[in-house]
Amino acid sequence: MRVTQALIVGFAVLAAGIVDGERPNIVFLMSDDQSTYTMGCYGNPDVKTPNLDRLGGEGMIFDNHYVTTAICMASRATAMTGMYEYKTGCNFDHGHMLVKTWKKSYPMLLREAGYQTAFAGKFGFDLVNEPDGKKLPLPAGDFDKWGGGPGQTHYETARNKSMAAYAKDYPHSTLSYGAFGRDFIREATKSEKPFCLSVSFKAPHKPATPDPKFDAVYKGKTFKKPENYGRKNGEHFSKQSKQDRQYERFESWNYSDNYDEVMATYHQQIHAIDVAVGMIREALEEQKVADNTVIIYTSDNGFFCGSHGYGSKVLPYEESSRVPLIIFDPRHPNSGRKLRTDALTGNIDFAPTMLKLAGLPVPENMDGDDLMKVYGDPKAAIHDSIALINVWGKSPTHTMAVVTKDRKYIHWGYANDGFEVTEELYLLGKDPLELTNQAGNPEASSVMEQMRKIYDRHLAHWKAEAVPYHNYQPYGTIFDRNIDWDERAPLLRKRGRAK
């Protein structure tokens, strides 16, 4: 009985994030546009990602992790704040993040609680005091060490002002961020304070610009295409989904006619990230803090890479919205057991998780939950469903979807100009490649009704919680499947473009 009680107490302490009275260090690593089939530990034998594979083997691999908006600006804002896009009010075509929202982000809250914080790479969004206010400088002063940059940043290290000191030794930005992380760890360990290092790689974002140092890694390599590759495997997708650049980029980005060369470049960029991750982990070992440092690795969104005959991201299909996630907590008894989980998780969960690791309360405004609950029990569930959002780009592609662990429902509401309201239903447990739309299948009618109800519940949350600025309120009606399109359509014309 005493042993059982001790184990219960031990797991409770771990759940709180603090072991033996010591708060862990946190390393949060995020790539840009990385699909799940870019890593060996996610089942691709064609690629070389030894450091990420090792991280997955030592920690836990999450197989059902989604970004709630599959585009960088909104996704990064969500990761920082733990809130859905309609609560951050932040995305291209809409507007920048308010300072009062930023103050509730995980870097700000951790620093207030005594953490040393550092950021390097693509910050992803800008700050304003008021919805239509003047854009403010990036918040370099809100971190103890800063290597961040505006906009998309640059692959040439010398062009990234805050990283220019690394340009001579690391002319390509990917390895410069590994060096930045290494140096911050060396500096931070001189203090008794814990640290939180956040690195946001530009790779493998287009335009594809791999580090020539790794040209030999995939030279002449051929790659197995995914089983849902090509236009024939996207014919059942909605007409609305084919109206923006995601569709034409299957051809313009040469997935259609030069697949191996395009993918070699893509994977080469991720191989460089793998090397940078190795640099950071080596620094943790060197400074003897690896045993008390939690590492989280993920991507801001996925990438189609030719699946279904699409390129790019944004749309709420699997290749775009489901992304890699690895967590390694060396303090936890589940580490080193090569565990995986199919629990449903999302990028809304990062901020709450890091706060809980630091022993801090999670603000009520956050929509996510603690990923370490799943780390402690791979069969645990922290979400029964998650909303997937797109309100960027051309109006026909604007949509909201909901996903559960084994099902997905997408509502394409746009019905102007010859379009019709369209629904898609995928039974992901049986059809993970989304090859069969079950929306018109009578045998799936009960599932369809269940998913519609889940969709309505998430939309009710949008209506109740959306910020009253940056044009997010109208979508509570635009996405309402219970309102005739003729009543919804006028809101598109009023929506306009954010200043």
Nearest to 161 by CA among 175, 169, 173: 173
- Rounded to whole angstroms, the Cα distance separating 393 from 267 reads 27
Residue 18, pLDDT score: 76
Q: Tell me: pLDDT of 8 over 50.
A: no
Structural fold of domain 387-495: Arylsulfatase, C-terminal domain (3.30.1120)
Nearest to 30 by CA among 350, 251, 340: 350
Q: Which pair of tokens denotes residue 15? A: 């759940």
Angle at 234 between CA 230 and CA 235, to 5 degrees: 120
Q: Other CB atoms closer than 10 Å to residue 32's CB: what's the count?
A: 25
Q: Give the Å distances, CA to CA, from 436 to 137, 299, 444.
A: 47, 27, 12
Q: Tell me: pLDDT of 21 over 70.
A: yes
Residue 389, pLDDT score: 98
* pTM: predicted TM-score of the whole model, two decimal places: 0.95
Tell me: the pLDDT tens digits for 148-185?
999 999 999 999 999 999 999 999 999 999 999 999 99
**Any residues with CB less than 8 A from the CB of 184 and at least 6 apart, and which?**
118, 120, 145, 195, 197
Residue 494: exposed, middle, or buried by beta-carbon count in 10 A (0-12, 13-18, 19+)?
exposed
**53 close to 73: Cβ distance less than 8 angstroms:** no
Residue type, 269: Q
The proportion of the chain whose per-residue pLDDT surpasses 70, expressed as a percent, equals 95
Q: Which pair of tokens denotes residue 465? A: 């919680």
**125 close to 73: Cβ distance less than 8 angstroms:** yes
**Phi, psi of 393, deg, nearest 5:** 85, -155
Nearest to 347 by CA among 364, 363, 324: 324
Q: Tell me: pLDDT of 3 over 60.
A: no
**321 close to 35: Cβ distance less than 8 angstroms:** no
Tell me: the pLDDT tens digits for 450-489?
999 999 999 999 999 999 999 999 999 999 999 999 999 9
**Any residues with CB less than 8 A from the CB of 453 and at least 6 apart, and which?**
none
SS (H, E, C) the chain: CHHHHHHHHHHHHHHHCCECCECCEEEEEEECCCCHHHCHHHCCCCCCCHHHHHHHHHCEEEEEEECCEECHHHHHHHHHHCCCHHHHCCECCCECEEHHHHCCCHHHHHHHCCCEEEEEEECCCCEECCCCCCCCCCCHHHCCEEEEECCCCCCEHHHCHHHHHHCCCCCEHHHHHHHHHHHHHHHHCCCCCCEEEEEECCCCCCCCCCCHHHCCCCCCCCCCCCCCECHHHHCCCCCHHHCCHHHHHHHHCCCCCCHHHHHHHHHHHHHHHHHHHHHHHHHHHHCCCHHHEEEEEEECCCCCCCECCCCCCECCCHHHHECCEEEECCCCCCCCCCEEEEEEEEHHHHHHHHHHHCCCCCCCCCCCCCCHHHHHCCCCCCCCCEEEEECCCCHHHCEEEEECCCCEEEEECCCCCCCCCEEEEECCCCCCCCCCCCCCCHHHHHHHHHHHHHHHHHHHHHHHHCCCCCCCCCHHHHCCCCCCHHHHHHHHHHHCCCC
pLDDT average, residue stretch 106-110: 98
- Rounded to whole angstroms, the Cα distance separating 311 from 259 reads 12
CATH pick for 23-377 out of 3.30.1330.60, 3.40.720.10, 3.30.450.40, 3.30.160.20 = 3.40.720.10
Computed over every residue of the chain, the mean pLDDT equals 95
- Rounded to whole angstroms, the Cα distance separating 192 from 270 reads 34
Tell me: the pLDDT tens digits for 385-395?
999 999 999 99
Domain ranges of the chain: 23-377, 387-495
Tell me: the pLDDT tens digits for 235-262?
999 999 999 999 999 999 999 999 999 9
Residue 66, pLDDT score: 98
Q: Tell me: pLDDT of 303 over 80.
A: yes
The region of weakest confidence among 2-11, 159-168, 300-309, 447-456 is 2-11
Q: Tell me: pLDDT of 432 over 70.
A: yes
Nearest to 140 by CA among 166, 121, 157: 121
Tell me: the pLDDT tens digits for 123-147?
999 999 999 999 999 999 999 999 9
Structure-token match 């993970």, residue found: 432
Tell me: the pLDDT tens digits for 175-216?
999 999 999 999 999 999 999 999 999 999 999 999 999 999
- Rounded to whole angstroms, the Cα distance separating 394 from 381 reads 35
Nearest to 263 by CA among 298, 226, 318: 226
Nearest to 101 by CA among 116, 93, 115, 89: 89
pLDDT average, residue stretch 431-450: 98
DSSP β-ladder status, 293-299 and 25-31: parallel
